[in-house]
Structure 1
C-alpha cells in the first residue's frame, strides 16, 4: 500500500511507526453497541480494530478484511488479548459497518482527538465525494464536508451532507464541531453565504471566501470597484485605498505570477457580516518546455474577508488563500489514493 502520511524527519524502526499506543482502542470502547446481545460473538471494539488494521494494510472490502483477519489472527490475538474460536466472517463486518451511528460517533471521536495538541491558524472547508460508497438513487455519489487544518494536517470535523448542494446547510454544523476560535476559515465560492460567515464570527473565527455569480450583487460591486478607470479628458481618477502585492514562483516547468489587491472601500456599502476587506486575485501561468512557452492561462478571482488591515497584510492574505488548496493534497488525495477510499 502506498504510504505518504509519515511526518518529516520521522524515524521508522524495524517494528514500524507507533502513534499514541492504546489511544485508538480506548476511544473505540466508548462507542454505542447497537447489536442485540443474542448471537453476539465479538466485542464491537475488536471488530472495529480489525477493520482499522486491515484497512491500513490495504484491505478495501469486508471480504478482504475478513481474509486479512484470518491470515493475521495470531498477531491479532496477542495485540487485542482475545482468543476466539474463529475470526469474524465477511457478513459480520458488513453488518457492523452498516450502522450509521458508528459513523457519526467515530467522526466525533476523531475530531475531538485531532483538536488536541498544536493546531495551525488556517482551516480549509471543502466537500468531497465518497467514491468508495454505493451511489445514491439518482446515481450521484455521497458527499462529506470537512474542516481541515492545513498546517497541522488534521481533519478537525466532518459531517455527512448527502448531495453536494447540501454543503450550504450543513457547513455551520461542521464549523461548530471544529472549534475554530482564533482560526481563519477558507472555502469555495459555494460557501460564501451570510449564514455561514455569521456562524464563523459567532465562533470567534475569521473568514476568507471567494465571490462568484452565486452572490450577484456582491460580485458586481467588487468587480466594478477593481475595474480599470478611463477618465474623460479634464477629469482625474477617483482616489482609492488599494494595496497590492505580487509573487512569482518557478518550478515543475511552470512560472506562476499572482497579484492580489485589497480595498476597504466597500465595507460600509456592502451589507455583509463582518466584512473588513475585499480583494482581487489575478493569476498568470506559463508552462515551459525546452526553453519555449507552450501554454499560458489567466484567471481572476474576487473575494471577501473579515481580516482587517490591522490583522493582516495583502501578502499574508495571499498566503491564506493559497493555503486552501492544502486540503486537496493533504486530505482528499490521501483518502482517494493512499487509502483507496
Structure 2
C-alpha cells in the first residue's frame, strides 16, 4: 500500500491502524486507481464499526459520511460503489491482509497473551451454490483474558483445521503463552509447533486420536476405581451458577505419566487433565467427562482455570460475531472478499472491545454510529 512519504497525521486526524497495513499490496493498476487503498480500508473499518454489515451498507455510509471521512484522508474522488468495494476486497491477498492484522493487534496488546484459545468458525451464508463453493471457515486465535482477536486464517476448501492451525501459529509471537485448542487440533505436529515457538499447550483429547484416547480413557477409568492411589495428582472443584443452571467442575490432574509420551511419541507431554462436570437445571442433571493433554506441570486449580478460559472464544468472540456483527447472515462470497471482510470485522471487534466504558459491544457499536467523535477516538488508538 503506497501512502507516500507523509505520516498519518499529515493528512488529517491520526489513524493508527493504517501504519500496520502499509505493506499490503494493491494489485490494481495504479494509473486507474481513483480510491487509494488506505481510504478503502479506513472506509470499510469505520463503516463496520458504525453498524455496516455488507458492502452496500459501507458504500451508503461513505455517501452519508464523506465530510467525516475527510477528517482523516482527502477522499478526493469521494467513496466507491458497493460493487467497486467488493471487487477490491476480492482481489486483496487474504494471507497478507491477515499478517498485517497480526502486526497491528500485537502493537495494540503490547504484551503476549497469557492464554490463547484457537478455534474455527463457519460463516454459514457465505457459501455459493451456483459456483460450487462451500461456506468460508476461519480459524481464529483469541486472547482469553484481553478478549481480543490475535489472528485468523481461512481454511482452504480442500483442507481442514489441522493444516490451518500451524499456519496461524507461524504468523504470531506466542512465546510464553498457553495455547488451548479443541480436539481437532490435538495433533503431534501442532503440539510440536507450539513447543518450538516457546509456548505451552492444553489440547482437548477425543476420539480422533483413537489409540491415544482409548489408552488414556482406560487408564483414567482404572485410576478412578483405585481412587488414584497409584498416581501423583492434584484436584480442584469449582461451582458456578448462572440463569438457573448450576455447574460443578471437578478437575483432576495426573502428573506422573512417563509411560504415555513414550508409548505414543507425544511431544512435551507432562500431564493429563480430567474435568468431570455436572450441570443441574431444575430437576435435571447431566454428567460429562473431558480429557486434555498438557505440556504444563501446574496444579489442578490453575489448569482448570486455563481449560475454562478456552471457552471465552465461544462466548466472547463467536457469539459476539454472530449476535453483534451478524456474521452468520453475511453473504460476501467472491474470491478473497469473505476472508478479508472477516478480518475487518475482527478489527472492529478489537477496537470496540478496547474502547473505554462499560457499555455492551452492541451499544458501543450503536454509539459509534451516533457519535462521530467517539468513532474518531476509537480508530486513533
TM-score range, shorter chain: 0.7 to 0.9
More displaced 10-residue stretch of structure 1: 173-182 or 22-31: 22-31
Question: 269, 280, 297: which is aligned to 2:260?
Answer: 269
Unaligned regions of 5+ residues in structure 2, if any?
1-12, 328-381
- Pair 217,265 (structure 1): closer, same or farther in 2 beyond 3 Å: farther
Superposition CA RMSD, Å: 2.5
- Determine the structure 1 residue equivalent to 2:215: 221
CA contact (8 A) 2:256 2:270 kept: no
TM-score, normalised on structure 2? 0.75
- Structure having greater relative contact order (Cα 8 Å, sep ≥ 6): 2
Give yes or no for the alignment of 1:185 onto 2:185. Answer: no
Contact 1:119 1:151 in 2 (8 A): no
TM-score by structure 1 length?
A: 0.83
Q: What is the match of residue 257 of structure 1?
A: 248
Distance in 1 of aligned mates of 2:133 and 2:305: 38
Instruction: Could you tell me which runs of 5 or more consecutive residues in structure 1 were left unpaired when the two chains were aligned.
Output: 1-19, 288-292
Counterpart Cα distance in 2 of 1:23 and 1:273 = 41
SS of the equivalent of 1:162 reads coil
- Is 2:152 the counterpart of 1:158? yes
- Whether 2:85 is the aligned partner of 1:96: answer no
Corresponding residue to 2:65 among 69, 72, 83:
72
Report the more deviating stretch, 235-244 or 204-213.
235-244
How much does 1:118 deviate? Answer: 3.0
The answer to whether the 8 A contact 1:130-1:142 is kept is yes
Deviations 1:19-70 (A, max 9, x none): x942123334432111013432121111221111112222222222222211
Alpha-carbon spacing, 1:167–1:115, altered in 2? closer, same or farther (3 Å)? same
Residue 87 of structure 1 is aligned with which of 79, 85, 90? 79
Q: Which has the higher helix share?
A: 2
- The match for 1:30 is 23
- Say yes or no: does 1:49 pair with 2:39: no
Distance change >3 Å, CA 238–CA 31, structure 1 → 2: closer
1:184-333 matches, cutoff 5 A: 184-228=178-222, 239-270=230-261, 271-287=265-281, 293-308=282-297, 312-333=298-319
Native 8 Å contact 1:256 1:285 kept in 2: yes
Counterparts of 1:139 and 1:29, CA distance in 2 = 31
Distance of 1:283 and 1:92 partners within structure 2: 52
Structure 1 residues 326 and 113, CA, compared in 2 at 3 Å: closer, same or farther? same
Could you tell me how far apart the structure 2 residues matched to 1:323 and 1:164 are? 31
Q: Take 2:97 and 2:294, find their aligned partners in 1: how far apart are those partners?
A: 33
> Take 1:198 and 1:73, find their aligned partners in 2: how far apart are those partners?
50
Deviations 1:180-232 (A, max 9, x none): 1111111111110000001011111111111111112211221122215699x
- Structure 2 CA distance for aligned equivalents of residues 216 and 44 of structure 1: 49
What is the CA–CA distance in structure 2 between the aligned matches of 1:74 and 1:164, rounded to whole Å?
A: 45
Distance 1:237 1:211 in 2: 20
CA distance in 2, matches of 1:236, 1:172: 38
Distance 1:236 1:257, change over 3 A: closer
1-side partners of 2:218 and 2:256: how far apart? 12
Q: Which residue of 2 aligns with 1:338?
A: 324
Quote the Cα distance in structure 1 between the aligned partners of 2:211 and 2:235. 24
